[in-house]
C-alpha cells in the first residue's frame, strides 16, 4: 500500500483516537506507534533490502506534518525516531535495520545533556547546537569487548518506551569529536526517572535517561570512534530541523539552515 494511503488509515484508526488521552492524561500513544509499525511507516526510511520503504526525508517530513495536525505527541515520537534511523541506516547492523524495516523497533535520540537543549539547541542558533549537542560530557570506557557508558541524557523523546537509543559520548581514544552508540532500552542499569522532565508534548514520554553505567558490546558503536560528529552534522541535525519545521515547531528558514560538516565546534564558538 502506498505510504500516503497507509498513513491516512493509521491516522483515522489509531492516531486520532489516541490523541485525547495523550493530551489530557499524558499517556504515551503506544497503540498509534504500534499501528505505524504495522503499516510500514516506522520503517519508511529503511532500505528496501531490509524490508523498509526505501524513502527519504521529504516523505518522512510529510508523515510528521500530517501526524502533528492530530497528535503532537505521536509526531514528536516520529521526529526522534526518523532522525535516529538516519544514523542507524548509515552505521547500524543488519538485524536492527531489519527490525525497524519490519515495524517492530522504535528508536530515539539520546544526545542532549543539559535542560532545554533538545528543545532549544536543535532549533536554535548554530553555536548553541554545537555547544549542547556536539560536545557530550558522557563518557565511555572499554574493557576487552565490553564498553561501559556513563551519562545522563535529557529531553529524550519516548524515554522508557523506545526499543533503543542513539547515544553520544566522548570518544574512547580518538583525540576529538564524539562517538555514537546504539544502546538497547532493556540494557541493565539504564533507567528513566519516574517523573518526566521534558518540555515535549504531553504523552511523548520526554524525560531523562540515565546510564550508571550501562554495559554494551563494543560493536554497538555506530561508525568509528570519534567520527560521530560528522554523523550528527550530516544526518541528525538536518533531519531534526526539517522534521521540526514539518511539525510546525520551527520556521522553514531555520530548518533549511546549511549545515557545514567542515565547520567544527571550536571554530563556530570562537566566532560567536
CATH of the domain at 135: 2.40.110.10
Q: How many residues would you count in the chain?
A: 272
CA distance 234 to 43: 20
pTM across the whole model: 0.87
Query: Does one domain contain both 20 and 51?
Result: yes
Q: Do 148 and 197 lie in a common domain?
A: yes
The pLDDT of residue 122 is 37
76 within domain boundaries: yes
In a shared domain, residues 210 and 167: yes
Please tell me whether residues 14 and 100 are part of one structural domain: yes
Total domain count, the chain: 2
CB 101 within 8 A of CB 46: yes
Residue 21 lies in a domain: yes
Q: Does any domain span residue 135? A: yes
In a domain, 250, yes or no: yes
CA distances from 201 to 29, 68, 77, 140 (A): 12, 10, 10, 31
Cβ–Cβ under 8 Å, residues 246 and 61: yes
| Within a domain: 111 | no
pLDDT of residue 115: 55
Instruction: Tell me the pLDDT tens digit for each residue of 13-22.
Output: 999 999 999 9
pLDDT at residue number 15: 97
Whether 168 maps to a domain, the answer reads yes
Report whether 147 contacts 141 (CB < 8 A): yes
Pick out the chain residues at pLDDT < 70: 114-132, 194-198, 249-272
Is 121 found in the same domain as 99?
no
| Residues 183 and 90 placed together within one structural domain of the fold | no
**Same structural domain, 87 and 37:** yes
State the greatest distance between any 2 C-alpha atoms of the chain, in Å, as a whole number: 51
Q: What pLDDT score does 195 carry?
A: 64
C-alpha separations of 202 from 21, 102, 120, 197 in Å:
9, 28, 17, 11
CA distance 30 to 254: 31
Residue recorded with cell 515520537:
77
Closest Cα to residue 84, out of 197, 182, 3, 219? 182
Containing structural domain, residue 125: 117-222
Closest CA to 14 of 81, 61, 80, 74: 74
Write down the pLDDT at residue 137. Answer: 87
Spatial CA neighbour of 250 closest among 84, 72, 122: 122
Q: Cell 543539559 belongs to which residue?
A: 114
pLDDT of residue 31: 97
pLDDT at residue 193, as a whole number? 82
On whether residue 110 sits in a domain, the answer given is no
Question: What's the CATH code of the domain at 67?
Answer: 1.10.540.10
**What are the angstrom distances between the C-alpha of 122 and each of 59, 125, 207, 245, 246?**
21, 8, 16, 11, 14
178-188 as b/e: b if 16+ CB within 10 A: bbbbbbebebe
Q: Are residues 38 and 66 in the same domain?
A: yes
163-219 pLDDT, tens per residue?
999 999 999 999 889 999 999 999 999 999 866 666 788 999 999 999 989 999 999
Q: What is the pLDDT of residue 250?
A: 56
Look up residue 202 and give its three cell numbers: 504531553
Q: Strands 146-156 and 139-143: what pairing?
A: antiparallel
Using DSSP's 3-state secondary structure scheme, residue 33 falls into helix
Q: Are residues 60 and 154 part of one domain?
A: no
Amino acid at each position: 500500500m502506498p505510504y500516503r494511503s497507509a498513513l491516512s488509515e493509521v491516522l483515522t484508526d489509531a492516531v486520532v483516537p489516541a490523541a485525547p488521552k495523550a493530551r489530557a492524561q499524558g499517556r504515551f500513544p503506544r497503540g498509534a506507534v504500534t499501528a505505524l509499525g504495522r503499516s510500514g511507516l516506522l520503517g519508511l526510511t529503511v532500505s528496501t533490502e531490509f524490508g523498509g520503504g526505501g524513502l527519504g526525508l521529504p516523505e518522512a517530513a510529510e508523515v510528521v506534518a500530517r501526524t502533528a495536525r492530530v497528535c503532537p505527541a505521536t509526531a514528536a515520537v516520529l521526529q526522534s525516531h526518523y532522525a535516529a534511523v538516519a544514523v542507524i541506516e548509515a552505521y547500524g547492523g543488519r538485524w536492527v535495520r531489519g527490525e525497524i524495516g519490519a515495524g517492530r523497533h522504535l528508536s530515539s535520540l539520546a544526545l542532549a545533556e543539559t535542560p532545554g537543549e533538545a528543545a532549544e539547541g536543535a532549533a536554535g542558533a548554530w553555536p548553541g547546537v554545537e555547544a549542547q549537542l556536539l560536545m557530550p560530557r558522557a563518557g565511555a570506557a572499554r574493557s576487552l569487548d565490553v564498553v561501559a557508558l556513563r551519562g545522563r541524557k535529557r529531553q529524550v523523546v519516548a524515554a522508557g518506551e523506545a526499543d533503543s537509543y542513539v547515544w553520544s559520548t566522548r570518544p574512547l581514544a580518538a583525540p576529538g569529536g564524539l562517538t555514537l552508540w546504539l544502546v538497547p532500552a532493556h540494557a541493565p542499569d539504564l533507567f528513566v526517572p519516574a517523573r518526566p522532565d521534558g518540555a515535549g508534548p504531553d504523552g511523548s514520554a520526554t524525560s531523562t535517561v540515565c546510564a550508571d553505567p550501562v554495559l554494551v558490546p563494543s560493536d554497538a558503536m555506530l561508525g568509528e570512534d570519534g567520527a560521530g560528529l560528522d554523523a550528527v552534522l550530516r544526518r541528525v541535525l538536518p533531519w531534526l530541523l526539517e522534521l521540526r519545521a514539518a511539525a510546525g515547531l520551527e520556521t522553514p528558514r531555520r530548518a533549511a539552515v546549511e549545515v557545514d560538516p567542515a565547520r567544527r565546534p571550536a571554530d563556530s564558538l570562537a566566532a560567536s
